[in-house]
Amino acid sequence: MSFSSTSFTIPRRSTIDADGKPHKLTIGVLDLVSTFSYTIVPKLSVHAYLKASTLNTSDKYLLAGPASIFMNNNFVTHSSIDNVCIGDTFDLPLGIDSGIKVEYKPVKKTNDTQGIISKTHLKTVRHETHITNTKTNEVVVFVYDQFPLSSDEKIKVNLVHPDLRRKDTNSHNNITLKDTNNLEWKCVLPSRGECRLPFEYTVEWPYDKEVEFKEEL
C-alpha cells in the first residue's frame, strides 16, 4: 500500500532549521489497544514468539518505517511497520517469551509393507508438541506444522491425527488445514494450563518404487 499524499497537523509550533538535515517532530501520541498472541513452529524452534495485533483507531495514517519496541518501559527489539490506514490492523513482533514452554518430542518413523497381491510401502510418522503456560494470565497460542503434499497420484499421504472431521471436544482448541498445507492449532491456555498436540500421518506408495523424502521449509 502506498499513500500518494498525506498531511499531518503538528500539535505545537516548532522551528526547523534550514540546514539540509532531517529533523524529528512529534506528530501525535496514540493510545491504541492491542491483542496479544503467540506463534510457535516447533519443527523450526522450541520458542514461543509474542505478537501484538493493533487496530489503528486514531484519525491518523501511519507511514511505513522503522519502529522501536518497548514493553514495560524496557526496550525489546527493532522492527518496522508498513503503511497503515485508519481502521486497519497491523502486527508487531515482540520477541521470545520464556513464560511459554515448548517441548517437541522426537519424531518417530516406522516402515512397513501391506497387501498380499499388490504390495505397497507404508511409512508412518508420529510426533507430539507439548506446550505449557507458566504465566499468570490466559494466553492464545497458534501452533503450525507441515503436512506433506504429494504431486504424484500414486503416492498417498493420509492424515491420521488430528482427525479434522471430528470436532475437538475442547472448545478452547481449534484445528485448521491451511491453503499452504500447514496445520494450524489455536489453543487458549489458562494460567498454568497445558496442551498436547499429537500429529501423525502415513505415506503409501507402490512396492516397486523408490521414494525420496525432502523437507522444504
Residue 67, in any domain of the structure: yes
Number of domains in the chain: 2
Q: Write down the pLDDT at residue 1.
A: 54
The partner residues of 176 in beta bridges, in order of sequence, read 184
Question: Grid coordinates 509550533 are at which residue?
Answer: 13
Burial of residue 129 (number of CB atoms within 10 Å: 0-12, 13-18, 19+): buried
pTM attached to this predicted model: 0.79
Which of 44, 70, 90 lies at the terminal end of a domain, its last residue? Answer: 90
At residue 114, the pLDDT reads 67
**What is the predicted pLDDT for the residue at 63?**
87
Which residues, other chains included, contact 109 with Cβ-Cβ below 8 Å and sequence gap of 6+? 123, 124, 125, 126
- Is position 171 within any domain? yes
Name residues of the chain where pLDDT drops below 50: none
Per-residue confidence (pLDDT) for residue 97, from 0 to 100: 93
3-state secondary structure of 202: strand
Domain that includes residue 186, residue range: 100-206
Q: Provide the sign of the torsion angle of the four alpha carbons 177, 131, 35, 80, taken in this order.
A: negative
Return d(Cα 174, Cα 132) in angstroms, integer: 17
pLDDT score of 11: 76
Whether 83 contacts 65, CB under 8 Å: no
Residue 117 and residue 78 in one domain: no
Residues 106 and 181 in one domain: yes
> Does residue 86 sit in the same domain as residue 139?
no
- The shares of helix, strand and coil residues in the chain, as percent rounded to the nearest 5, are 0, 50, 50
Give domain status of residue 211, yes or no: no
Residues 104 and 85 placed together within one structural domain of the fold: no
Domain assignment of residue 173, yes or no: yes
Return the bridge partners of 34, or none: 54
Domain assignment present for 37: no
The residue from 71, 90, 109 where one domain ends is 90
Do residue 135 and residue 161 come from a single domain? yes
Query: Quick one: pLDDT at residue 39?
Result: 97
Interatomic CA distance for residues 122 and 112, integer angstroms: 5
Cβ atoms of 173 and 186 closer than 8 Å: yes
Sign of the alpha-carbon dihedral angle for 42, 44, 46, 52: negative
Q: Does residue 45 fall inside a structural domain? A: no
